[in-house]
Chains A and B, each alone.
Chain A
Amino acid sequence: MSADKSTDASNDYRIKPGSGWSGAWKKAAAVGVFGFALAGFGFTQDAKRFAFSYLFAFFFFLSLALGALFFVVVQHLTKAGWSVTVRRTAEFFMAGLPAFAVLIIPLIALMAQLFPWLAPHAAAGHGASTHAEIALIREAHAADLHAPQAADSHAPRKAGPSVVARVAARDPEAALEAAKAHEHAKLIEGKKSYLNKPFFLARNAFYIVVWAALAYWFFKNSTDQDRTKSRQATVNAQTWSPLALALFALTLTFASVDWLMSLNPTWFSTIFGVQVFAGSVVSALAVLILVTMSLRDTTLKGAINVEHYHDIGKLLFGFNCFWAYISFSQFFLIWYANIPEELAYFHMRWSENGGTWQGVTAALPILHFAIPFWLLLSRNVKRNAAGLVLGSVLLLVVQVLEMYWNILPNFGPFAPHWLDLACFLGVGGAYLAVVFHRMENFPLVPVGDPRLARALHFENA
């Protein structure tokens, strides 16, 4: 092995002053401030819309940061040599995780706008949007509360037709709605021991602490190694990576149950956490490709070459196929079994909401799978900068779209709102300001990693 090539002293892998990346964090922060200002104005106009738009922006960037955390942990877990030069970029995106401890505050404040299970009459949250229906539900609910007393009376069988039946005689459609809503209310009531505010807050405190701690520790361990060149740091990262992975799986799963699944509290799917995970890794890999690509002729010159892109490209392709597999499994099993309470998820995104989400629902398999699959299948495309960038941009955009599609149908029909963009800029700007600030203060390659030489000389078999 020619050792002279690996100790290329001409490059310290730092962002050069005056390059497009220097001061990027200030630009991101400015965008963030602008976004928050707009969003703040929007909040005064429509608090509920703000809450949903903000959740969309928040969860997208959170999933991106978590995907980056996953990438870093897995490289340590597998003791990977090839990826050392790209690992630092992922570490920057991971290092933005503590920012979400602050970014989560508006969501906590506006929980009542998001979650039907927090509404005083949980029943009113789902499937009943008009005042008339809510009134009917209340009537039905009240009657139900008195029902036991009726049963205690001398002639229980002659207690008369139920409220629902009486309402049905007046307005059969409203009665059906009322019955459904009543059923939902009962279901939600049964979940109270999980879906309640104190436990929800406690869980989220736990997630935030875990994420911030993992991000802090892995980042510090790696950046300290730049100076110390300590092999022990690599050993430590390898030792703690299994536990980190377990914590990651636990927190990501339950955060998606809490923030996404419980938006429609009667719907449930066991694969949901895995589905969110697959998407988060796709976003992180796409971002990794785009960021390193924009730096490959300057800061990362000599550190990342076509062989690395080929490999990250393969991972992107693979994880996108995994996303498709998981998403298809979820859709397919729900479609095949055709059980109404499960079908609600796809109903909401197909026939309900005036059918406005149909276009997005139909576009997702094509944009998220069919097109990128054929594009990234080719070895030549993965080894070609333009092709890989195209695939990454496409996947990143559809990941945003998917998150939008996951959250906003719970608000109502498909109608993009300027608040969506404002929140996206606000949350994104704030998060990226933290990430870019880190990028400016540390080398973009873990120069102390003992496997660095392997990554520098890496060639695809």
Chain B
Amino acid sequence: MGYYEPLQELDEAYLVAPGSTLAEVTEDIASVTENAAPRGWWIVFMGALSLLALFGGTVGYLFYRGVGVWGNSSPTYWAWDITNFVWWVGIGHAGTLISAVLFLFRQKWRTGINRFAEAMTIFAVMCALIFPGIHVGRPWVLQWMFPLPNQMSLWPNFKSPLLWDLFAVGTYFTVSAMFWFVGLIPDLATLRDRSINKWRQRIYGFLALGWRGSNRHWQNYERTYMILAALSTPLVLSVHSVVSFDFATSVIPGWHTTIFPPYFVAGAVFSGFAMVMTLLLVSRTVFKLHRVVLMRHLELMNKIMLLTGMLVGYAYAMEFFVAWYSGNEYERYVFVNRAFGPYAWAYWTMISCNVLSPQVFWFKKLRRNIPVMFVVSIVINIGMWFERFVIIVTSLHRDFLPSAWGMFSPTVIDLTTYLGTMGVFFTLFMLFLRWLPAVAISEVKGTMPQADPHHHDLVPEGAE
């Protein structure tokens, strides 16, 4: 598609600050990896490293003592571990949505933020994968999760949603990593060609695979990128759908309901966008990326958060309505218990954070207000964590028979495990910001007027 001057009367806006040159875009983004890191980076990185150390200690202790150090108990055998797993997988989904779905819909504004979002996906999925790894109790037989026969020649049970999870999240991680790397190749070549010392040139040169901007390459490259986007779109739906199957294939009221797959996907995208927003606002300030990350991008992301927040609200409402409409007393009880039982505080936290807080984005003033969006993005992430907590714990803690009722309370180790994965995530993310181009340089250039050969004059016959 060609370049069009935005029709400002129709609320359209520039995607790159008007008047920017191609070289300025390269400079803005690439110099982040070349200059000394600003103090803000060091502060966050040191904080992240401390949490990473906490993570190491916690997991060591967990392996030494066993999963009893968590608060999981009868009847709440699944609690924070799976809550955190679902939360992290969900956060990853916005990355794929921004890079793949918005790409397919030709939403050019994605170019300002897609690299962040993809990096976030990969690191979030890594954090998620930690939980199935450490919650199994016997991490030394972890290979039993894979389709390998055990000593009794028994194969894994392919009717188990937990096994599908392994395939889904594993595939998701692999495909996202490839998608990310493919997107990085031209930008790594840019860093290679700008490098002033030999080591930078060797390392970036090695990673850039000898990219030389050839149009014969671009042709296959663009097709591959498009196909990966087309594959990632159903993949991202499938991943959170499979995660939702972990719950929904059971017969537990509050877990078994048919809307779970799309509801989980919407929630995932919602929380992921909130996380992208949080990270983006921090990075934009620390690394001064105002030329490529405009208010426009932030505003559009706020609109998507409003939309997905409403979708999640729709799912909450449908669940509640159908629980009543089903006439099933267990179904009805679970929802009454959620809203008015001992975990009502968690339920109403979830509703206020996820359904009410994004409503501020109806107002243009608030949608364009950075402190407001920063706070709301964090509030949404809290709310989405509570959503998973509510689904998991309130459905389990009161079993079918009152004799099997109980309450769940987390331990300090639950808390440090969760905070520890934050350390894993932020350490990786800070390293990414410092050493890789945090905005897709070649893609941003593609949205600029200079990229459209028709923009300045007409193309000769036969070139069209």
A145 to B261, CA, bound (A): 42
Quick check: is B11 within 8 A (CB to CB) of the other chain? yes
Quick check: is A16 within 8 A (CB to CB) of the other chain? no
- Check B257–A270 contact: CB distance below 8 A: yes
- Check B1–A337 contact: CB distance below 8 A: no
Interchain residue pairs with CB less than 8 A apart (25): A1-B4, A1-B454, A2-B458, A78-B107, A82-B1, A188-B327, A194-B324, A231-B7, A242-B306, A242-B307, A253-B318, A257-B325, A269-B322, A270-B318, A270-B319, A270-B322, A271-B259, A271-B261, A271-B262, A273-B318, A325-B262, A332-B249, A339-B256, A341-B326, A454-B4
**Whose C-beta in chain B lies nearest to the C-beta of A267?**
B326
Point out the residue from B4, B261, B324 that lies within 8 Å of A325, measured CB to CB.
B261
Expressed in whole angstroms, the minimum distance between the Cβ of A157 and any Cβ of chain B is: 24
- 5 closest residue pairs by CB, A with B: A270-B259, A271-B258, A187-B327, A336-B249, A329-B261
Point out the residue from B2, B258, B262 that lies within 8 Å of A457, measured CB to CB.
B2
Which residues of B are found within 8 Å of A266, using beta-carbon distances?
A: 327
Expressed in whole angstroms, the minimum distance between the Cβ of A137 and any Cβ of chain B is: 18
Interface residues on B, range: 35 or more
**Whose C-beta in chain A lies nearest to the C-beta of B105?**
A78
Which residues of A are found within 8 Å of B260, using beta-carbon distances?
A: 270, 329, 333
Quick check: is A321 within 8 A (CB to CB) of the other chain? yes
Quick check: is A9 within 8 A (CB to CB) of the other chain? no
**Whose C-beta in chain B lies nearest to the C-beta of A272?**
B258
Which residues of B are found within 8 Å of A334, using beta-carbon distances?
A: 258
Which residues of B are found within 8 Å of A190, using beta-carbon distances?
A: 327
Expressed in whole angstroms, the minimum distance between the Cβ of B148 and any Cβ of chain A is: 25
Quick check: is A356 within 8 A (CB to CB) of the other chain? no
Interface residues of B in 321-363 (CB under 8 A from A): 322, 324-328
A381 to B250, CA, bound (A): 41
Quick check: is B241 within 8 A (CB to CB) of the other chain? yes
Quick check: is A246 within 8 A (CB to CB) of the other chain? yes
Point out the residue from B10, B105, B314 that lies within 8 Å of A231, measured CB to CB.
B10
Which residues of A are found within 8 Å of B105, using beta-carbon distances?
A: 78
A residues sitting closer than 8 Å to B (CB atoms) are: 1-2, 78-79, 81-82, 186-188, 190-191, 194, 231, 234-235, 238, 242, 246, 249, 253, 257, 266, 268-274, 314, 321, 325-326, 329-330, 332-334, 336-337, 339, 341, 450-451, 454, 457-459, 461
Quick check: is B60 within 8 A (CB to CB) of the other chain? no
- Check B7–A329 contact: CB distance below 8 A: no
B residues sitting closer than 8 Å to A (CB atoms) are: 1-2, 4, 7, 9-12, 104-107, 222, 234, 237, 241, 245, 248-251, 256-262, 306-307, 310, 314-315, 318-319, 322, 324-328, 454, 458
Expressed in whole angstroms, the minimum distance between the Cβ of B4 and any Cβ of chain A is: 6
Which residues of A are found within 8 Å of B107, using beta-carbon distances?
A: 78
Given A321-B234, A451-B7, A457-B2; A329-B262 close (CB under 8 Å): yes
Expressed in whole angstroms, the minimum distance between the Cβ of A390 and any Cβ of chain B is: 22
- Check B325–A461 contact: CB distance below 8 A: no
Expressed in whole angstroms, the minimum distance between the Cβ of B160 and any Cβ of chain A is: 11
A450 to B324, CA, bound (A): 48
Which residues of A are found within 8 Å of B261, using beta-carbon distances?
A: 271, 325-326, 329, 333
- Check B11–A325 contact: CB distance below 8 A: no
- Check B10–A330 contact: CB distance below 8 A: no
Which residues of B are found within 8 Å of A341, using beta-carbon distances?
A: 326, 328
Expressed in whole angstroms, the minimum distance between the Cβ of B240 and any Cβ of chain A is: 11
Expressed in whole angstroms, the minimum distance between the Cβ of A446 and any Cβ of chain B is: 14
Given A81-B4, A253-B318; A333-B10 close (CB under 8 Å): no
A384 to B268, CA, bound (A): 37
- Check B10–A461 contact: CB distance below 8 A: no
Which residues of B are found within 8 Å of A321, using beta-carbon distances?
A: 234
- Check B4–A191 contact: CB distance below 8 A: no
Q: Chain A CB within 10 Å — which of B258, B259, B327, B454 has the most?
A: B258
A194 to B222, CA, bound (A): 53
- Check B12–A79 contact: CB distance below 8 A: yes
Q: Chain B CB within 10 Å — which of A81, A266, A274, A450 has the most?
A: A274
- Check B249–A333 contact: CB distance below 8 A: yes
- Check B106–A461 contact: CB distance below 8 A: yes
Which residues of A are found within 8 Å of B245, using beta-carbon distances?
A: 332-333, 336
**Whose C-beta in chain B lies nearest to the C-beta of A195?**
B325
Which residues of A are found within 8 Å of B250, using beta-carbon distances?
A: 337
A261 to B190, CA, bound (A): 58
Expressed in whole angstroms, the minimum distance between the Cβ of B117 and any Cβ of chain A is: 19
Which residues of B are found within 8 Å of A235, using beta-carbon distances?
A: 9-11
A454 to B1, CA, bound (A): 9
Known: A270-B315, A271-B258. 6 other contacts (CB 8 A): A326-B262, A329-B260, A332-B249, A333-B260, A334-B258, A451-B7
**Whose C-beta in chain B lies nearest to the C-beta of A193?**
B324
- Check A238–B10 contact: CB distance below 8 A: yes
- Check B325–A333 contact: CB distance below 8 A: no
Which residues of B are found within 8 Å of A459, using beta-carbon distances?
A: 1-2
A268 to B259, CA, bound (A): 11
Point out the residue from B11, B249, B314 that lies within 8 Å of A337, measured CB to CB.
B249
Expressed in whole angstroms, the minimum distance between the Cβ of B167 and any Cβ of chain A is: 16
- Check A333–B256 contact: CB distance below 8 A: yes
- Check B454–A268 contact: CB distance below 8 A: no
- Check B106–A339 contact: CB distance below 8 A: no
- Check A79–B251 contact: CB distance below 8 A: no
Which residues of B are found within 8 Å of A337, using beta-carbon distances?
A: 248-251, 256
Which residues of A are found within 8 Å of B324, using beta-carbon distances?
A: 194
**Whose C-beta in chain A lies nearest to the C-beta of B318?**
A270
Which residues of B are found within 8 Å of A79, using beta-carbon distances?
A: 10-12
A336 to B250, CA, bound (A): 8
Expressed in whole angstroms, the minimum distance between the Cβ of B271 and any Cβ of chain A is: 20
A333 to B7, CA, bound (A): 47
Which residues of B are found within 8 Å of A191, using beta-carbon distances?
A: 325, 327
**Whose C-beta in chain B lies nearest to the C-beta of A266?**
B327
Which residues of A are found within 8 Å of B314, using beta-carbon distances?
A: 249, 253
A279 to B396, CA, bound (A): 35
Which residues of B are found within 8 Å of A187, using beta-carbon distances?
A: 327
Which residues of A are found within 8 Å of B241, using beta-carbon distances?
A: 325, 329
A271 to B318, CA, bound (A): 8
**Whose C-beta in chain A lies nearest to the C-beta of B325?**
A268
A81 to B107, CA, bound (A): 11
A273 to B310, CA, bound (A): 15
